């Protein structure tokens, strides 16, 4: 473990993804647990995997839990189907899944707005047997423009990320250039310019990409960064990625946004998975 010597902490602001950390706790207890661990900000995948439009009481309960904990919700995913698991998304899948995504757009945007959240993430969606990829891509662009407009309405950015081919083999955006290409298409189609790249260093490393080159080429188009070590998707120091150096490089390239901790805690409580990060930097 890098421990208290992880000096990159001085360069970045870190938040905790409550959909992969603190999952040993009920959803409504996680914001307070993150706060108790010293964090002031959190992010979430869409918490209701079976419902793009949950009951108002459920939305209100989560909002209250976040506010009562005194943490900021800095990022939220739109509905993306069954997560965790082989990330599949919904917005490019014709039929019911695409309709569910559209039904979620304003619900997610309004919930984000109620908490001052400024970043909304839209997973592209897996390829589907028997459907022309060109048809899926056209549907994806149409839905991403709708999402960009909803994000713009609340003063937020729209994030588009690359996943990794070994874990999500049906997902078409498995490189930084592929994801940034969609960012550019959405910005061109919407005219809003609020689509940004979500640079997940774990996913990109799993794809075998040159991470220093990705940072050099795409930091200017990056709206959010997420980290986990590789192999294993554990905390920094549990694998071989030079995350400290990469975060320093990001800072030098001008990235001053949040860095989301999107790693697995391993066989221990999540509260014990942050030894690498000085408490003062959380």
Q: Catalytic residue numbers? A: 161, 262
Element (H, E) at 224: strand 222-227
Quick check: bond before 13 cis, omega within 30?
no
Q: Which two tokens stand for residue 104?
A: 């979620």
Tell me which residue has tokens 């070994």.
166
Q: What does the alpha-carbon distance between residue 73 and residue 240 come to, in Å, rounded to a whole number?
A: 30
Q: Which residues pair with 13 in a beta bridge?
A: 258
Q: What angle do CA 40, 15, 166 make, to 5 degrees?
A: 165
Q: What does the alpha-carbon distance between residue 108 and residue 79 come to, in Å, rounded to a whole number?
A: 8
Q: What does the alpha-carbon distance between residue 257 and residue 14 come to, in Å, rounded to a whole number?
A: 9
Asked if 29 and 62 count as a contact pair (C-beta separation under 8 A), the reply is no
SS3 235: coil
């Amino acid at each position: 473990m890098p421990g208290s010597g992880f000096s990159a902490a001085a360069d970045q602001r870190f938040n905790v993804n409550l959909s992969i950390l603190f999952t040993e706790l009920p959803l409504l207890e996680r914001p307070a647990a993150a706060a108790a661990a010293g964090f002031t900000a959190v992010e979430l995948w869409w918490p209701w995997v079976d419902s793009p439009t949950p009951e108002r009481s459920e939305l209100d309960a989560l909002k209250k839990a976040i506010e009562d904990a005194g943490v900021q919700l800095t990022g939220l995913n739109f509905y993306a189907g069954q997560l965790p698991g082989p990330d599949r998304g919904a917005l490019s899948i014709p039929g019911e899944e695409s309709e569910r995504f559209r039904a979620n757009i304003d619900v997610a945007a309004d919930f984000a707005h109620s908490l001052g959240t400024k970043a909304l993430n839209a997973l592209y969606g897996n390829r589907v047997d028997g459907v022309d990829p060109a048809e899926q891509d056209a549907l994806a662009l149409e839905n991403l423009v709708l999402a960009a407009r909803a994000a713009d309405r609340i003063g937020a950015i729209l994030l588009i990320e690359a996943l990794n081919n070994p874990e999500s083999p049906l997902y078409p955006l498995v490189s930084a250039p592929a994801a940034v290409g969609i960012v550019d298409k959405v910005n061109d189609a919407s005219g809003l310019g609020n689509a940004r790249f979500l640079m997940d260093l774990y996913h990109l490393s799993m794809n075998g990409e040159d991470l220093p080159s990705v940072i050099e080429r795409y930091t200017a188009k990056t709206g959010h960064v997420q980290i986990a070590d590789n192999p294993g998707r554990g905390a920094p120091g549990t694998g071989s990625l030079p995350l400290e150096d990469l975060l320093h490089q990001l800072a030098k390239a001008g990235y001053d946004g949040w860095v989301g901790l999107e790693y697995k805690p391993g066989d221990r409580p999540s509260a014990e998975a942050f030894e690498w990060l000085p408490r003062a930097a959380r």
